[in-house]
Structure 1
Amino acid sequence: MKLVLIGAPAAGKGTQAARLVEHYGIAHISTGDMLREEVAKGTELGNQAKSIMAAGGLVSDELIIAIVQERIKKDDCAKGFILDGFPRTVVQAEKLEDMVKLDHVVYISAPDEVMLERLTARESCPKCGATYNKLFLPAKVAGVCDKCGEALTQRKDDTVEAGKARIATFHEQSEPLVDFYKKKGILFEVDGTQAIDEITKAIIAGLDK
């Protein structure tokens, strides 16, 4: 099964992708995570992406497409994968069509004010990568990772200012993907304001039809 998850920042794509990966036994490909890894390593790609990401912008199509093209060739993608954070534009979606045939596209939708509130409440573990949200998925002990005990941190692009810029970028560049995939007949929409478990159930029900 080859899937794409679409949604504004903080729609819950990463949370749902992790659950779907476990349910279906397929690979999770997060372009955001891959880019942040490059930034942390200080690679040439990471240095190019660093300032753009901090301002809430999008890195170039060429860079992202090159990363994805190499990633989907790896062995763990043989049974399928979930793309989280790619494609972000119709141009990228057209390029992806040249690489692979998708089975489904899931659009997790929610109002802007919900997204912004969630964005500024997000925390993550720098050691094991676990993610939390102070509003609806808090750590058991405030500021401490449940899994490994490391102190939680907040991403630099999870400020109100950067959050507004990222949401505006989604509407301008990524929202056209909804119509693009609707016309292909492979998109279905899920209400992202529901409880996390309900969103998961809705997605799995849609995929298993």
Structure 2
Amino acid sequence: MTRLLVIGPPGAGKGTQAERMAAAFGIPAVSTGDMFRANVKGKTALGIQVQEFIDAGKYVPDSVTNAIVGDRLHQADAAAGFLLDGYPRTLDQVQELDRLLEADGTQLDAVVQIVADTDEVVARLLKRAAEQGRADDTAEVIRHRLDVYAEQTAPLIDIYGSRGIVVTVDGLGAVDEVTARILDALAERDIHTV
């Protein structure tokens, strides 16, 4: 069983690397962003609520996010492990995740921190916005999300760092190179692919 978390600023390549890591370890990638986008696309009640936060460049409240993630981690395919992408983002979410994992007698094996230069991140997200027509990825909203990340999410690295489970990897470079760096860093901690 492998339980991983990938963390880093918006645009650092978390989604791409999460998919690759999940495939390498044979576990589901649990992306709050994907779950939120599916609800927005389906115009569910949750999706409408989520869209209002996204349009304002804000994160979805912890109560909503915790409920969605808790439900997802109790689905059958996550019993053998999972890779979290986009959760937890706040101290309250860390506490909720700890509670969920402790109730199952488990814990995270590693937190993969992907780091990337801020200007590179903004350029990546603006390019993605142009390619995908994503209204939520304007320069102003991107910079606001990076500020929110620095304020709320970056301190989580201190928590997980104190537990000795953070693996920091440079997110710049070719996708395959970044994936190799991540898998090598995890192998050094005796966390091996299937």
With the length of structure 1 as denominator, give the TM-score of the two structures: 0.83
Matched, 1:62 2:41: no
**Residues 85-96 of structure 1: matches in 2 within 5 Å?**
85-96=86-97
Of residues 122, 125, 141, the one that matches 1:119 is: 125
Matched, 1:52 2:58: no
**Residues 10-159 of structure 1: matches in 2 within 5 Å?**
10-100=11-101, 101-122=107-128, 153-159=132-138
Match of 1:165 in 2: 144
Letter in 2 for 1:205: D
**What does the per-residue CA deviation read over 1:110-161, in whole Å, with 9 as the maximum and x for residues that have no partner?**
12111101110116xxxxxxxxxx8xxxxxxxxxxxxxxxxx6221111111
Distance 1:4 1:23 in 2: 14
Of residues 158, 161, 168, the one that matches 1:189 is: 168
The structural deviation recorded for 1:65 is: 0.2
Distance 1:153 1:121 in 2: 9
Q: Secondary structure at the match of 1:121?
A: helix
Letter in 2 for 1:163: I
Letter in 1 for 2:35: M
Letter in 2 for 1:178: I
Q: Secondary structure at the match of 2:132?
A: coil
**Shift >3 Å, 4+ stretches:** none
Match of 1:126 in 2: none
Letter in 1 for 2:95: E
Distance 1:153 1:110 in 2: 22
Match of 2:185 in 1: 206
Distance 1:49 1:153 in 2: 19
The structural deviation recorded for 1:19 is: 0.8
Letter in 2 for 1:164: R
Query: How many positions carry a matched residue from both structures?
Result: 182
Distance 1:206 1:178 in 2: 17
- Computed over aligned residues only, the root mean square deviation of the Cα atoms, in angstroms, reads 1.3
Distance 1:78 1:70 in 2: 12
Greater RCO (Cα-Cα under 8 Å, separation 6 or more): 2
Letter in 2 for 1:35: F
Match of 2:153 in 1: 174
